Copies of this chain bind each other. A is one copy, B any other.
């Protein structure tokens, strides 16, 4: 079973990280001014305060250069009238418009239907979805399956699902991620963890296929592992709320994941019949939740910096695109001539649970 045919689509708009952080400070100040009845001087002071916090705690521009978003940047003055941001209904409607259009465009030139299409997202829930509308419009007999609400690690369960569909008869399973993280902005929540989140996440749109035969270039699937860590349910959450999805993120997440990682990776290799010595020559695809988690993975597994380079580069170029991030890293490793065929590609992603997900591939 082979992952292949990666096609990423850049979101329509892009903002550099410095511009984005400045916008965030203004947006929070506008919302706070409306809620706490601040005058102009008070609003400016609040913006400066948020800008200060962001300068200390946000992902800095040398680690994250720019982020994509699918909708035009909001004029911050809009938050004066509605300091809680768009309603959940409006966010759902906008998600559907963007995603329906994406599916149509992304499959415009596609003549052959896939047997299965797995739609992966945690940022918009509407049925029928863009995948179903595509299949109906084209008169395809493709089966559509949702892989929803699994956060940043969802590419791994999606690959597991695709492997199962392939094992039970499908020749081609397409996996399509549509993550519109930027939709779920909360200008009225000034907590430090929210500011960190808002400085990291971005939109990501990508499709790829699992092929039943092992021909051609791609990532050959060798195995997978998955673990829900104990006593960490409160460390991260993602839930439907009145004004879009709401995230919580504790500071201890990188440490909790790091503590479980060594045993987890040993198991991932063992399940594929490989011993841990093979780590040395492996190139890692690590979901870059933030810069810190890449550091921790590198240190715990005693990796060289180049072994996590693709993960850092994707964070730098695009931000944390939730479940769409790992596929962007796979695509980059696949296209990189410096990574020879035969290289092992252990892939790691993390999310609410806390859940640690892994898949092991070989580049071919």
Q: Write the residues of chain A forming the contact surface with B, with a CB cutoff of 8 angstroms.
A: 87-89, 92, 96, 122, 124-129, 132-133, 135-137, 139-151, 157, 160-161, 163-168, 226-233, 236-242, 246, 351-355
Contacts and interface: CB of A to CB of B under 8 A. Distances in A.
B355 A132 contact: yes
Contact of A92 (B87, B226, B241, B353): B241
Given A139-B230, A146-B150, A353 B132 contact: yes
A167 B168 CA distance: 7
Q: Which of A164, A232, A233 has the most CB of B within 10 A?
A: A164
B132 A157 contact: no
A92 to B, nearest CB: 5
Contacts of A238: 126-127
A233 B354 CA distance: 36
A92 B239 contact: yes
A133 B147 CA distance: 19
How many copies of this chain does one complex carry? 2
Contact of A167 (B145, B150, B167): B167
Contacts of A87: 242
Q: Which of A141, A161, A229, A238 has the most CB of B within 10 A?
A: A161
A127 B88 contact: no
Contact of A136 (B144, B228, B241): B228
A238 to B, nearest CB: 5
Nearest to A164: B164
A142 B161 CA distance: 15
A94 to B, nearest CB: 12
A110 B239 CA distance: 28
Nearest to A154: B146
Given A92-B240, A139-B230, A144-B226, 16 more contacts: A88-B241, A89-B240, A89-B242, A125-B239, A126-B238, A128-B355, A132-B352, A143-B157, A143-B160, A145-B157, A145-B161, A146-B150, A148-B148, A160-B168, A163-B164, A240-B240
Given A148-B149, A228-B136, A233 B128 contact: yes
A226 B136 contact: no
Nearest to A247: B127
Given A165-B164, A228-B135, A242-B242, A237 B128 contact: yes
A149 B136 contact: no
Contacts of A150: 127, 145-146
A142 B355 CA distance: 11
B239 A127 contact: yes
B353 A127 contact: yes
Nearest to A138: B230
Contacts of A143: 157, 160, 226
A232 B238 CA distance: 32
B88 A229 contact: no
Contacts of A240: 88-89, 92, 124-126, 240
Given A136-B233, A167-B167, A228-B132, A239 B146 contact: no
